[in-house]
A = this chain, B = another copy of it.
Amino acid sequence: MNALIEQAITGADKTFFQMRSDIVEGEIEAGSKLSETELSTKYGVSRAVVREAINRLESCHLVERKPNIGARVVALTPEGLIQLYQARESLEGMAARLAAKNMTDEEIEQLNELLNTHFQEVKGGETYYQEAGDVDFHYRIILGSKNKHLISLLVNGLYHLIRMYRVQLGMAGPRVSTAFDEHKNIVKAIRNRDEELAEMLMRRHILYSQQNIEARLQ
């Protein structure tokens, strides 16, 4: 179902995935300090692999490192969330534009099918899959852009941070039907190969989402 199958080759991979998950899920709490020795005993590996994992987490913008001092998990702030959505808006907007240009007819058809199954689930009240479905939708468009920089920046970079905000500030649930309509219109634009419209609709979709979240934080 999900086109993203990250598999761990080395031990550092495994530790990185584990730590990333723990941070996103809040098991390692936001803003906390990451002690290398402590983590090495916790995950049962040497400090070297913990250090490599931390370096990669820094690339994801999930932790911040200061020389000779150490690494901390990022703090979740309203400003940070807004800035994150601004970056996301620009990148995913361009991704939608390029998807309208570069996705094959077959890929677009599969995207449409995803939307249909998603619709059935929403109608059935399965709000659990709503989150996963939304993520999957956005992933496909990002991959559909076929631009490796956009893919890397979003999938390996910002998306886990977005998920961290979602999980820890607990914002999934509402906005289901309207978001679904927005998805539908985006696919329609992509199907019509209307790059301009696809980008505009994606940007508005993300902007609405941002505003919805902002409203709920207050």
**Which of A32-40, A55-63, A175-183 interfaces with chain B?**
A55-63
Would you give the shortest CB distance from A168 to chain B, in whole angstroms? 18
Query: Is the Cβ of A91 less than 8 Å from the Cβ of B87?
Result: yes
Q: A80-B148, A87-B94, A153-B153 are in contact. List 12 more A-B contacts (CB 8 A).
A: A10-B67, A10-B68, A13-B67, A51-B52, A59-B59, A83-B149, A83-B150, A86-B147, A87-B153, A90-B94, A91-B91, A153-B157
CB of A5 within 8 Å of the partner chain: no
Query: Is the Cβ of A68 less than 8 Å from the Cβ of B9?
Result: yes
* Nearest B residue to A87, CB-CB: B149
Query: Is the Cβ of B9 less than 8 Å from the Cβ of A67?
Result: yes
Report the separation of the CA atoms of residues A94 and B199 in the bound assembly, to the nearest whole angstrom. Answer: 13
CB of A190 within 8 Å of the partner chain: no
Would you give the shortest CB distance from A26 to chain B, in whole angstroms? 21
CB of A98 within 8 Å of the partner chain: yes
- Chain A: number of interface residues, binned into ranges: 20 to 34
Contact code string A5-22 (vs B, CB < 8 Å = 1, else 0): 000011001000000000
Contact code string A165-205 (vs B, CB < 8 Å = 1, else 0): 00000000000000000000000000000000000000000
Given contacts A52-B55, A55-B55, A61-B152, whether A147 and B87 have CB atoms under 8 Å apart is: yes
Query: Is the Cβ of B150 less than 8 Å from the Cβ of A86?
Result: yes
CB of A24 within 8 Å of the partner chain: no
CB of A158 within 8 Å of the partner chain: yes
Query: Is the Cβ of A94 less than 8 Å from the Cβ of B86?
Result: yes
* Nearest B residue to A91, CB-CB: B90
Interface centre among A13, A58, A84, A90 (most CB of B within 10 A): A90
CB of A48 within 8 Å of the partner chain: yes
Query: Is the Cβ of A149 less than 8 Å from the Cβ of B61?
Result: yes
Residues from chain B with Cβ under 8 Å of A91 in the complex: 87, 90-91
Report the separation of the CA atoms of residues A150 and B93 in the bound assembly, to the nearest whole angstrom. Answer: 15
Contact code string A78-116 (vs B, CB < 8 Å = 1, else 0): 001001101101110110001000000000000000000
Report the separation of the CA atoms of residues A160 and B136 in the bound assembly, to the nearest whole angstrom. Answer: 32
